[in-house]
């Protein structure tokens, strides 16, 4: 299960997608009385046309990169399974309900569905909302099968190994620094995640998955540390930053920000920069347009010689094998 995408890069479809995404109270955590006019009256009308242009730059003949690449991962996993493997999206299509219906129609005696949220790190606006939404659909329509969830895996040795294997060939080509750029979040989300983690540790919250002991920001830094350790990266050759800030969702987001750092790195002597985005399992608008296009232009316009974007894990063999091994262990 992944985040989702508009049905097309047309403004009307992007607007519909953004409305669904931003009206999620775990994403834009304002009271509904404020969230509705903010999203429908301010954010979406102004953001949809610009986002549509951005989507148009990365849209493929076969559809949204996120949807296509998630499907390719599912297809690669399916080759190693007799059980059906399907993709679902938290927002947009295909929805969990549609996928649940298809699975049940194909097998009326279905006993269990394993849901794999494609988010390495836990936070309320990504992993938690995916799990909560799937559970709500499951409960509302009284599906006869049970649900199991793959837990967040930001520090799992298999994930770290797959990520290191993805990065390693690019290091061999030479670099001055590697930037680990994660999706940013408002500071207040860290405080809310800390509260949720505390309730879980005190036994007051049943999540159905293994809750990390640290918040999202700390999880990201731990992923960076473990990958750097795996690849024997010198401490002065890598940094962690956070991208994709939506100012209307709050002024204070977790720092440092990726965009301004890309513009200052050349002045620090960085000529060849590698950028990897570990919070994203599949390439999408935020990696392909924001980093590989806009980020590259910003870095090189500021005096950098070359920004090389390292693709997400997607359906790479080490990652596909990891997914298969984890799911088989849950059967």
Q: Mind giving me the DSSP string for 70-138?
A: HHHHHHHHHTT-SS-----EEEESS-HHHHHHHHHHH-TT--EEEE----SS--IIIIIHHHHHHHHHH
Residue 52 contacts residue 9 (beta carbons within 8 Å): yes
Pairing state of beta strands 177-183 and 272-276? parallel
- Alpha-helical regions (H) of the chain: 11-22, 32-37, 44-58, 65-78, 96-106, 129-140, 157-171, 187-201, 216-231, 258-264, 285-288, 296-301, 317-330
**Residue 286 is assigned to a ligand binding site:** yes
**Residue 189 is assigned to a ligand binding site:** no
Q: Distance from CA of residue 52 to its chain's centroid?
A: 20
* Residues 5, 71: Cα–Cα separation, whole Å: 13
Dihedral sign, Cα of residue 311, residue 154, residue 244, residue 234: negative
Give 133's Cβ-side CA count (13 Å radius): 25
* Residues 71, 257: Cα–Cα separation, whole Å: 31
Residues making up the annotated binding site are 183, 286
Annotated binding-site positions for Fe(2+): 183, 286
């Amino acid at each position: 299960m992944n985040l989702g995408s508009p049905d097309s890069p047309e403004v009307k479809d992007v607007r519909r997608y953004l409305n669904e995404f931003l009206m999620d109270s775990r994403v834009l955590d304002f009271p509904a009385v404020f969230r509705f006019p903010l999203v429908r009256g301010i954010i979406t009308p102004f953001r949809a046309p610009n986002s549509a242009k951005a989507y148009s730059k990365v849209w493929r003949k076969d559809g949204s990169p996120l949807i296509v690449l998630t499907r390719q991962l599912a297809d690669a996993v399916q080759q190693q399974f007799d059980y059906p493997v399907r993709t679902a999206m938290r927002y947009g299509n295909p929805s969990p309900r549609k996928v649940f219906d298809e699975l049940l129609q194909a097998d009326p005696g279905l006993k269990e569905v394993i849901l794999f949220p494609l988010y390495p790190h836990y936070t309320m606006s990504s992993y938690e909302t995916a799990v909560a939404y799937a559970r709500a659909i499951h409960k509302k329509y009284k599906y006869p099968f049970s649900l199991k969830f793959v837990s967040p895996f930001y520090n799992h040795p298999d994930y770290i190994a797959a990520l290191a294997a993805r990065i390693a060939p690019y290091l061999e080509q030479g670099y001055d620094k590697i930037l680990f750029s994660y999706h940013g979040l408002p500071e207040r989300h860290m405080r809310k995640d800390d509260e949720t983690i505390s309730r879980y540790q005190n036994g007051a919250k049943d999540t159905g998955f293994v809750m990390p002991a640290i918040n999202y920001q700390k999880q990201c830094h731990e992923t960076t540390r473990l990958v750097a350790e795996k690849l024997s990266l010198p401490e002065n050759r890598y940094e962690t930053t956070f991208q994709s800030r939506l100012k209307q969702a709050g002024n204070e987001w977790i720092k440092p920000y990726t965009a301004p750092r890309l513009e200052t790195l050349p002045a620090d002597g960085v000529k060849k920069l590698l950028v990897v985005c570990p919070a994203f399992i599949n390439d999408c608008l935020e990696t392909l347009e924001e980093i590989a296009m806009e980020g590259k232009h910003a870095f090189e316009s500021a005096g950098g010689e070359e920004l090389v974007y390292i693709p997400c894990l997607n359906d790479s063999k080490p990652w596909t094998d990891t997914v298969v091994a984890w799911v088989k262990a849950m059967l």
